[in-house]
Amino acid sequence: MKVGIVEHIDSMHRLPGHPKCGVPHGHTYRIEITVEGPVVGGMVIDFDALKAQVRELLKPFDHADLNRLIDYPSCENISVEILRRLRERLAGDRLTVRVWEGEGKWAEMEG
Ligand SMILES: [Zn+2]
C-alpha cells in the first residue's frame, strides 16, 4: 500500500553554466512524499507523524538559497538530497520523493 503527502517550499537557486537558469531566481517547489509498506493497525504510517518529519526536514530548504545546501541544485539533485535526509528519519520504509519545479516539471527519486 502507498500513502503520500504534499508540501510546498519557496526557494531560490541558480544552475552555474546553464544558459537560462544560471542567474539567481526562485521557484515554488511542490514536494510529494510517498511511503510504501504494509498496513499495520490500519495504517502504513501515521499522516501526522509523516507530515511532522517532512516539515522539519524541509525547514532548511524553505525561503533559502538552495546552492548553499546542494552543489548543483537541479530538480533531480534536490530530490536525491531530500530522499537522503528522509531516509535518515524513516529507515525501513520504501520512499519516493517527487519534486515539482513550478508547474509542469518534476523529478522523482525512489529508494
Ligand atoms: Zn530554476
CATH number at residue 44: 3.30.479.10
Cell of 108: 522523482
Which residues have a Cβ under 8 Å from the Cβ of 46 and sit 6 or more positions away? none
Give me ligand 1 centre to Cα 30, in Å: 13
Give me ligand 1 centre to Cα 38, in Å: 37
Question: Strand 2-13 relative to strand 64-65: parallel, antiparallel, unpaired?
Answer: parallel
Report residues near ion ligand 1: CB below 5 Å: 21
Has residue 80 been placed in a domain? Answer: no
Max intra-chain CA distance, the chain: 52
Number of separate domains in the chain = 1
Its pTM stands at 0.95
Question: Strand 2-13 relative to strand 106-110: parallel, antiparallel, unpaired?
Answer: unpaired
Has residue 75 been placed in a domain? Answer: no
Has residue 78 been placed in a domain? Answer: no
Residue type, 13: H
Give me ligand 1 centre to Cα 10, in Å: 11
Residues linked to residue 56 through DSSP beta bridges, in sequence order: none
pLDDT per residue, tens digit, the chain (111 aa), is 999 999 999 999 999 999 999 999 999 999 999 999 999 999 999 999 999 999 999 999 999 999 999 999 999 999 999 999 999 998 778 999 999 999 999 999 999
Cα-based torsion angle of the residue sequence 29, 32, 33, 34 in order, rounded to the nearest 10 degrees: -160
Has residue 58 been placed in a domain? Answer: yes
- Domain of 41, in residue numbers: 2-66+85-110
